[in-house]
Structure 1
Amino acid sequence: MADLIAADDVLLFVNAAITSTGQREFHSGAEEQGLSLGFLHRYLLVNYRDLYAATLALDINDHNAALIVRNLLVTAAEADAEQRRAEGRLIARRLELLPPQRVYALFRELRRARVNNRRTRAIMRDWLAARPDPAFDAVKYRGAVKDAVRHAHLRPDGELGPFLFAFRRPAAYTTPILETWRRAHYDQTALYALPYTVAEGFAAKHRIPRAAFLERIAPRLTRLERLRLQESARERGAGAVRADLTTMPLTRLASYVLGLSLDERARRRGELTEALRASARRTAGDQAGRWGRVVAVLDDSFSSYGSGTKRRRPLAVALACHFLLEALAADYAPLWLSGRDDALLVHPYGATPLGERVLDGLDLGPDRLVIVSDGWDNAPPGLAGEVLRVWRTRLDPGHTCGVVHLNPVYDAGGFDVRRLTPVVPTAGIRDAEDLVALTELARFAEGRTGLPELRAHLDRRVAAFLGEDT
């Protein structure tokens, strides 16, 4: 029983670490989200420190990965030597995968918290030393780089020291990007050789019209910057800012599509559908077509709008899962709660009749039933859970049909993602790209396996994460 409780605690935390970013959701505010998430972090850190560190190898979101790293470093004195070695390797690997701006924000937080032990300084030193272009970072994240260098007691090589700290800077730099930055203060043409986020400030200083700026800075934009700016650039007549949608991450692409008007989606139906399918095929990889007959129950009720800070995020996950499941299945049937049959035109609307749609899905006799919903079954309340209970206990006790519930929304009041029934596994999901791995993790949530099995699963994931698998 103790093992089952421990396994349930770990899964509870993993669901939260995948879905919650401490921001406002449809049913709870940011403060409630932050307090609930903070409690779970502290609870797991104190009671299962090694498992808490091992979750860095799972598909948790960047917000929680940074919180885990921070908490492990703040409480380094509470770990023994073996734990510190294991944590150090996990932290170093996770920092390699985090966006640099997230890592620099973490370093600043450690500085504010006055965490300056030897291990923290070594981790910061090694991460900074591994950066592919320190001069680029110094220009793009100048204030954060200064704070990190000071906190780790480092001496930057070459011209980085004068660039970051000298009161009177040199009349010229030999490092190209540093010299470009210096010239951009008075030469408008120089700013177009800088990263977009830096050049944008210089463009405002020189009062360059937005359309002209976007047209000329287009070659310097990253893939995601192009996606984010494409529509505003088009409105201003900057046609050079065009993103190759077929190369975009699936969930990010789904969010972009949902941000377009219904008329725009209908007008660009062929382009958008092909882009979503191409991204889904790339995500499915060698699993494409191997899942047999799949039925998906997809939530496009009003609560799928999310919140002002996470606008349409739950619906974007459902839309991305729709295209991914289409690629994974040999035979696929999507069932949207609204009854719509045009996935490209879905929008948040109406109640959440999950029970009816689950009945419809089971009636099709699938090999797998995948439910993507926030779990607020309200038309009528509780019907979906009762349908699944009767199905699993009376009609299909042998599990001939695999059922899994993927929930993209953290329920702060329940310290978990909202579940439909205890007899069907529920896993939190933030990005559809993690769907395959999460369906494997969800089997531990059925209560039939305990801590040893979960530890073995985490050990395998940690080994693969650290490149130690054979």
Structure 2
Amino acid sequence: MRTPENSADLVAAEDVLLFANAAITATGQREFRSGALDQQLSLDFLHTYVRVNYRRVYAASLALDINDHNAARIVLGLLETAGEVSAEERRTEGRLIAARLARLPPQRVYRLFGEVRRAGINNRRTRAIMRDWLAARPDLGHDAVKYRSGVKTAARHVHLRCPQGAEPLAEVGSFLFRPGELPRYEHPLLDAWRRAHYEQGAVAELPFSVAEGFAARHGMKREAFLKRAAPRMTRLERLRTHAVTQRPDVDLAAMPLTRLALYVLALPFEQRAARRAELTGALHTAARRAAGRHAGSWGRVHAVLDDSFSSSGSGQKRRRPLAVALACHHLLEVLAAPGAYRGLWTSGRGDALLVRPWGPTPLGMRVLDALEPGPGGAAPDRLVIISDGWDNAPAGLAGEVLRVWRARLDPGRRTAVVHVNPVYDADGFDVRRLTAGVPTAGIRDAEDLPALVEIARFAEGRTGAAELYAYLDRRVALFLGEDDREEEKETVS
């Protein structure tokens, strides 16, 4: 057993884990049991509290697997309050900000730059960060067409010089600020945008999101337009339009695992059943890719998967909790030793491909089933529970089962138990937990499960603040490229 740390260290560690869970799961959008305003107010408080009290941890969170919404909020908060820290701390924060911006989707970054401008953050350091990010873009002409207002806002804020002439930056400047000045553009996308106003054939040369507007203006039939535009679509755009185009080149197995699970759940039951081999094979391939070097290393794994009615999510996050459970189901099957996985849905269904949000949440009954020995009479090495934590049939049974199991039947912790929760609880400023003795981690994408299991061990109380801060420092070093060792995402031993 560890020597207990002082209460201040324990409180700090709990606060850090609380914020990490929120930053992973919460997006400020409506959830099944709380509205968007509740979510936003809860997140506002957490961001302010952690930034003021644990600023170093707040900045280091950029190196964790937090979602893009909270990463952008952290960047904005650090830039807005840069005067509160020393020059050395600002340099470290600047490196973390630059590294995170490089990993964010461009549309998210341009939206962030708009918020920076509206907040009046216009110091030299902020402009340098924005200018460096713009300079690193592979094709600013493409961005000017696809994210025109965002590029225009950023260029104005950093006073980007766009002189007249024929060079690429000059053309972008003419396109953004002096439309109609040039009779034609050398950049193919800029010129395609110009021609698309009167030439229907130029529409298919544009990025899909831009071409859609021109197609509607020209009165093009949707199906014909989608087939012509397909070669220029991104992978996600192909996935969204696959039902209409039915193009054979859509490689479902190449999609991210959670995104693919969302796609599968959006299909009618008849299509899922008819395409069973294709969809199951794609999910398994995506899961094997997500597992990477962890495949087959978790031993005997039993999982309790929540497909109750609350897993339907909300209008803004439709079926997201259920998609995470479905993706985790396939990922855990790959992480487990061959033939040593058992997945139990709360509804009692045995066909994962046909799951749907339905019924109450009898987590306690399923946990009892999952803790029973598998083939050969051996208890599972790991029990993983994927649920929003609202155990209501009967209420609280899961927590009591786990408490008694740990205290009476498995005090030596032969079975590692972890609860991962895809839903942020705005009232509790955290993800909902089943019981104090079981570590809980927030999750947004199933692909992050191996790393989140490592974070969850800090919530179990068997490690202290020193280990948690060492873990954060290691993640920051890896994130910034200061440590060339392979990124460690070890699971609980």
Band the TM-score falls in, shorter-chain normalisation:
over 0.9
Q: CA deviation at 1:209?
A: 1.1
Q: CA deviation at 1:239?
A: 3.6
Moved over 4 A (4+): none
Counterpart-to-counterpart distance in 1, 2:248 and 2:107: 23
Cα offsets for 1:149-206 (capped at 9, x unmatched) = 0001111322111111015421111222211111111111111111001111111111
Residue matched to 1:25: 31
Name the stretch that deviates more: 197-206 or 433-442: 197-206
Alignment map for 1:59-138 (pairs within 5 Å): 59-138=65-144
Residue matched to 2:362: 353
- Alignment length, in residue pairs? 465
Alignment map for 1:13-412 (pairs within 5 Å): 13-156=19-162, 157-231=169-243, 233=244, 238-240=245-247, 243-330=250-337, 331-364=340-373, 365-412=379-426
Cα offsets for 1:368-418 (capped at 9, x unmatched) = 000000000001111100111111122212111100000000000000000
Q: Is the 8 A contact 1:218 1:241 kept in 2?
A: no
Cα offsets for 1:224-255 (capped at 9, x unmatched) = 00001112x1xxxx344852101010000000
After superposition, the CA RMSD in angstroms is 1.0
Counterpart-to-counterpart distance in 2, 1:349 and 1:124: 47
Corresponding residue SS for 1:295: strand
Residue matched to 2:438: 424
Give 2:150's aligned amino acid: A
**Among the aligned pairs, what percent are the same residue?**
70
With the length of structure 1 as denominator, give the TM-score of the two structures. Answer: 0.98
Corresponding residue SS for 2:52: helix
Give 1:28's aligned amino acid: S
With the length of structure 2 as denominator, give the TM-score of the two structures. Answer: 0.93
Counterpart-to-counterpart distance in 2, 1:152 and 1:387: 58
Give 1:73's aligned amino acid: L
Give 1:125's aligned amino acid: R
Counterpart-to-counterpart distance in 2, 1:177 and 1:302: 46
Say yes or no: does 1:467 pair with 2:481.
yes
5+ residue gaps, structure 2, are: 1-6, 163-168, 374-378, 485-493
Give 1:77's aligned amino acid: G
Counterpart-to-counterpart distance in 2, 1:350 and 1:175: 56
Counterpart-to-counterpart distance in 1, 2:382 and 2:463: 21
Cα offsets for 1:5-63 (capped at 9, x unmatched) = 00000100000000010000011000000000110000000000000000000000000
Corresponding residue SS for 1:413: coil
Counterpart-to-counterpart distance in 2, 1:228 and 1:239: 11
Counterpart-to-counterpart distance in 1, 2:29 and 2:179: 39
Cα offsets for 1:89-133 (capped at 9, x unmatched) = 000000000000000000001111111111110110000000000
Q: Is the 8 A contact 1:226 1:242 kept in 2?
A: no
Q: Is the 8 A contact 1:227 1:242 kept in 2?
A: no
Equivalent residue for 1:455, pick from 469, 487, 492: 469
Corresponding residue SS for 1:404: strand
Give 2:395's aligned amino acid: P
Say yes or no: does 1:6 pair with 2:18.
no
Counterpart-to-counterpart distance in 1, 2:242 and 2:288: 24
